[in-house]
Amino acid sequence: MRTQVGIIGAGPSGLLLSQLLSLRGIDNVVIEKQSRDYVEARIRAGVLESGTVDLLEEAGVGARMHREGLVHGGFSVAFGRRCERIDMAGLTGDSVMIYGQTEITKDLFEARQEGGGRIICEAADVQVHDFDSAMPSITYAKDGQAHTVRCDIIAGCDGYHGVCRASVPRDALDEIEKVYPAGWLGVLSETPPVDDELIYVHNDRGFALCSMRSTSRSRYYIQCTADDNVDAWSDDRFWDELKYRLPEDKADNLLTGPSIEKSIAPLRSFVAEPMRFGQLFLAGDAAHIVPPTGAKGLNLAARDVRNLWQACCAFYEENDTSLLDAYSSNCLKHVWRAERFSWWFTSITHKLSDAPFDRSLQLAELDYYTSSDAGRMTIAENYVGNLDT
């Protein structure tokens, strides 16, 4: 098989890139090791910056998002006995959209199917070859037969554990990582959210977050230990712990119910440098991971996709390689801004130490940043992505 761009990974990054390329007439193939049902069922976050919303609209997959998504102009930070609202819309003129990554993936799969896109799911033994040459290729097995895809460019959208970054020679890659001594225990439930907007909670027992997927479906998180076991957390235990950590008025209004999904996610900051190796380009979680506190993971992936899409368009339409050459540096500038904010917001809202000095310092930081005009603006600008222009 011959194509122009071979895309590994059918998550939102790979599918969005495929959709955008196809709309410009650039041939591509998506190769995914899991089934479509498996990919569509993965539960992920869904706080979208306006730039991500714009890119989904440009890809022609924004209709359901605008019908069902929730526009948020602010969020709250609770600590001590206070609950302070960050007015993103008032401070920056911008907002975020609440729309689950699971739904984005479904929309993109449907769009690629309607557009005749080539998506090969349940591909085994996926490998990338000769990406340091002008003739890279991808091999995989399907239904007991071996296949080869020859292409000009390989887009590695296959996540942190994918084959693309693992195929890069170790001496050509810097992997910079910070692992936090905590995880997020998340519960999805068919219950109305406790508030109209997200609430980030600092508590002596650990962090909590009240989020949502719709007006009738809630997503809640509590900080747990990095080695915790989800089986140790019954629904009742989770709800009791969440209520303890919430401000009293919010806890009184919390509606509980059976969990639809329950999982633990580790907290990690990770960056791979560079993000280009010959004709292999890493995007999304294949290149970087952020703690979910700052809601940057999907938005960073969308920014990578936009950069790679524009670079491919310049290459195929104008024979201009300058954007391909600048891809890694352009992406990493925004990656490190997001890494900094996600690390900082995590460090002041989570219980990462039992030291009294550290806990008191967190409260002082929260007090300053939620009381000061400059502090609120800093949080708002970073959260909506205004600094990532």
Residue 44 — pLDDT band, cuts 50, 70, 90?
confident
Residue 274 preceded by cis peptide, ω within 30 = yes
Would you state the structure tokens that stand for residue 283, as one six-digit string?
A: 């995007």
Round the average pLDDT of the chain to a whole number and report it: 96
> Could you give the residue numbers annotated as active site?
72, 200, 292, 296, 383
The pLDDT, as a whole number, for residue 384 is 96
| For the chain, domain boundaries | 5-70+92-176+268-344, 180-267+358-384
171-195 pLDDT per residue, tens: 999 999 999 999 999 999 999 999 9
367-379 pLDDT per residue, tens: 999 999 999 999 9
How many other CB atoms are found less than 10 A from the CB of residue 123? 22
Mean pLDDT of 348-370: 96
The pLDDT, as a whole number, for residue 205 is 96
* For residue 388, pLDDT beyond 80: no
The pLDDT, as a whole number, for residue 386 is 67
* For residue 146, pLDDT beyond 60: yes
pTM summary value: 0.95
55-93 pLDDT per residue, tens: 999 999 999 999 999 999 999 999 998 999 999 999 999
Taking only Cα atoms into account, the Rg of the chain, rounded to an integer number of angstroms, comes to 21
Q: Encode burial over 214-245: b for 16+ CB neighbours within 10 A, e otherwise.
A: beeebbbbbbbeeebeeeebeeeebbebbbeb
* For residue 42, pLDDT beyond 90: no
The pLDDT, as a whole number, for residue 81 is 87
Fold of 5-70+92-176+268-344: FAD/NAD(P)-binding domain (3.50.50)
257-301 pLDDT per residue, tens: 999 999 999 999 999 999 999 999 999 999 999 999 999 999 999
* For residue 387, pLDDT beyond 70: no
232-262 pLDDT per residue, tens: 999 999 999 999 999 999 999 999 999 999 9
Fold of 180-267+358-384: D-Amino Acid Oxidase; Chain A, domain 2 (3.30.9)
* For residue 389, pLDDT beyond 90: no
In whole angstroms, what is the distance from residue 86 CA to residue 88 CA?
6
305-314 pLDDT per residue, tens: 999 999 999 9
Alpha-carbon distances, residue 14 vs 95, 162, 222, 331 (angstroms): 26, 13, 30, 16
- Percentage above 70 pLDDT, the chain: 99
